Chains A and B, each alone.
Chain A
Amino acid sequence: MTTGSSVTPQAAEGDRMQKLSASAHERSALRRNGLVDRVFEITTRGSALMVLLLLGTITGSLILAGWPALSELGLSFFTDDRWAANINRFGALPAIYGTLVTSLIAIAIAIPVSLGIAIFLTEICPPKLRRTIGTMVELLAGVPSIIYGMWGMEVLAPFLQSHFPSIFPAGTGLTTAGLILAIMIIPFITAVTRDVMHTVPPIMRESAYGLGCTTWEVVRHVIFPSVKAGMLGGVILGLGRALGETMAVTFVIGNNLFLSATLTGQGTSIAALIANQFSEADGLQRSALLLLGLVLFLITFAVLALARFMLNRMNQRAPS
């Protein structure tokens, strides 16, 4: 576009320099290219705007579809602890509770493990192995979530039930789901943590080593403080993933619609409840499930927005 406009005035005053002026053919080529330029930008901008359209229609359609349930049930939807389609009682509390508890268990397990892996990969792993181990951890993120679900139901839950019958009476339950979720989000938190740890300038590391610090002291007093925001962003990103995970959780959470008092008891999560009931639901139940979907979307949106906010601040500080 800039080239087009800078050449045209030259062509206009081309009487003085006959040899340099554009011929009719060249002028039409310039016009055509200018048009292509404009079409190209408008097309790509339209595609980019589709992202906004997507967000708008996702929110809009869920609000619209969930509205009947919200107007019928009101605030009791969020406070009622009983979800029973047969008597038209729809309380989302057990599902919301299950979602939050499983995600928090997952985060509690995943944080120390991910930090450990990140420390191992950046500080003590021999360079030859670094790529292999990093790839293996990242491949964990590639395994489809339904595979985690099947594996959790057929291998992990029976194992827990037979070896720790007092803690896991049924094998499945909130904690089992949390454990599966932890395995699923470890790659995300590890990747973010490792990447932000790499942004620490080598000279900071080296000067700390020069003062006689041990590896742990370098990590604890030099690296961690300078990448705190980024690590927190990665953790919250993992939390966002765990909140919305469906298939893996559906298989191992037990799908008990009552509010479970114990952490290892069976329960349900928003995503699992939707996956289980949606296909045979209609009327008020379907609307309630869609409203539940809206709740999940709002929760994850807030969490992910927070994570992105922290990570973006990190990137602005240390571009790499």
Chain B
Amino acid sequence: MNPVYRRRRMVNRIIMTASLLASAFGVIWLFLILLTLVTKGVPALSLDVFTERTRMSGGGLGNAILGSLIMTALATVGGTIIGIAAGTWLAEYGGRSRLANTIRFINDVLLSAPSIIIGLYIYAVVVLPMGHFSGWAGVAALMVIIIPVVIRSTEDMLLLVPNSLREAAAALGAHRWLIVLRVCYSGARAGITTGVLLGCARISGETAPLLFTALNTNQWNFFNMGSEMPNLPMVLYQNMTINSFIPAQVSLAWAGALILTVAVLMLNILARVSAARSQK
């Protein structure tokens, strides 16, 4: 065989094997992390984990799960409303104007801005003036994180709606707002839902912004948004750092980590399934 060709084939084989190994390297971490979560988290799971509140000895994660659900839900609802409105303006009215381009650019940057900065920001504008940590501050921080995600997906999805649909509706005499509400949104609904689900998944695992906003508490907090709000990520953080000398707290943290990860990954998979279905 031609030596030049043999060398080229060799190089090709080496690179392709390397990229196969890289893929294995990339995927294996997911399994390693899930394996650790299952081996350490499952033994610590029990009904008490979901119903008891956090205590220094024993206890469960019930209050933290409830607090996380409340804050994530409120932030998702608020962020969805504002995000969809802003995304609608960018796609339907903003066009290529300088203002729209600036907003788009800044939104893209905020999309990946460090979440701890968002926490500091809410601390400076909400917590300091109010004088104490509160559930509202936590919701505000999570909202600042989810809004750019929703704006981005709303705009992208609205731009995919063909213009001929808008023109057809306009030819029938529909007004602009009616076209957007009835024609554009129904065409983009699946994609926007995907974006909202992904954003919701992202904020439910966020810890850093809650550190200075909602903080954490050992007590049940049923919708008293004016005071500190217990939440799952902060319990994990505290149990693994300042309480890490108590073995029961550490195993409780692993149970919480398992619950949190399963919830977040389920949201992610749900988002992907709804995206895949909308493509068909």
Contact = CB atoms under 8 A, between A and B. Distances in A.
Contacts of B246: none
A271 interface: yes
A79 interface: no
Interface in A282-306: 289-290, 293, 296-297, 300-301, 304-305
A135 B272 contact: yes
A37 B29 CA distance: 51
Contacts of A44: 85-86, 88-89, 92-93
Given A241-B112, A244-B116, A4 B175 contact: yes
B27 A136 contact: yes
Q: For chain B, what secondary structure do more than half of its interface residues adopt (helix, strand, loop), or is it mixed?
A: helix
Contact of A124 (B16, B89, B178): B16
A251 B240 contact: yes
Nearest to B31: A136
Interface string A227-257: 0000000000100110111110001000000
A47 B89 contact: yes
Contact of B117 (A45, A46, A125, A244): A244
A3 B173 contact: yes
B124 A62 contact: yes
Interface residues of B, number: 92
Nearest to A215: B12
Interface stretch (B69-77, B102-110, B186-194): B102-110
A37 B178 CA distance: 8
B268 interface: yes
B8 A144 contact: no
Contacts of B160: none
A291 B173 CA distance: 55
A279 interface: yes
A279 B16 contact: no
Given A116-B19, A217-B12, A274 B268 contact: no
Interface string A35-76: 011001101111111111011011001101100000000000
B112 A217 contact: no
Given A41-B93, A55-B110, A142-B264, A119 B19 contact: yes
A297 B36 contact: no
B33 A47 contact: no
A149 B33 CA distance: 11
A61 B125 contact: yes
Contact of B170 (A3, A114, A246): A3
Interface string A97-129: 000000000000000111111011101110000
Nearest to B22: A116
A288 to B, nearest CB: 12
Interface stretch (B42-50, B51-59, B205-213, B222-230): B205-213
Nearest to A241: B112
B33 A147 contact: yes
B95 interface: no
Contact of B12 (A155, A216, A279, A297): A216
B3 interface: no
B125 A147 contact: no
B109 A304 contact: yes
A204 to B, nearest CB: 18
Contacts of A58: 113, 117-118, 121
A283 B116 CA distance: 20
A133 B20 CA distance: 11
Interface string A198-231: 0000000000000000111101000000000000
A43 B106 CA distance: 19
B37 interface: yes
A182 to B, nearest CB: 10
A136 B112 CA distance: 21
A143 interface: yes
A262 interface: no
Contacts of B40: 154
Interface of A: 1-4, 7, 33-34, 36-37, 40-41, 43-52, 54-55, 57-58, 61-62, 64-65, 112-117, 119-121, 123-125, 133, 135-140, 142-151, 153-155, 183, 186-187, 190, 214-217, 219, 237, 240-241, 243-247, 251, 271, 274-275, 278-279, 289-290, 293, 296-297, 300-301, 304-305, 308, 312
7 contacts: A44-B88, A64-B124, A113-B22, A186-B26, A246-B208, A275-B116, A278-B120
Given A44-B92, A145-B207, A246-B114, 7 more contacts: A36-B177, A44-B89, A50-B86, A52-B102, A54-B110, A150-B254, A296-B116
> Top 5 closest A-B pairs, CB basis?
A244-B114, A116-B22, A144-B205, A44-B89, A47-B85
Interface of B: 8-9, 11-12, 15-16, 18-23, 25-27, 29-30, 32-33, 36-37, 40, 82-83, 85-86, 88-90, 92-94, 100, 102-103, 105-110, 112-118, 120-121, 123-125, 128, 144, 147-148, 151, 170, 173-178, 180, 201-202, 204-208, 211-212, 215, 233, 236-237, 240-241, 253-254, 257, 260-261, 264-265, 267-269, 272
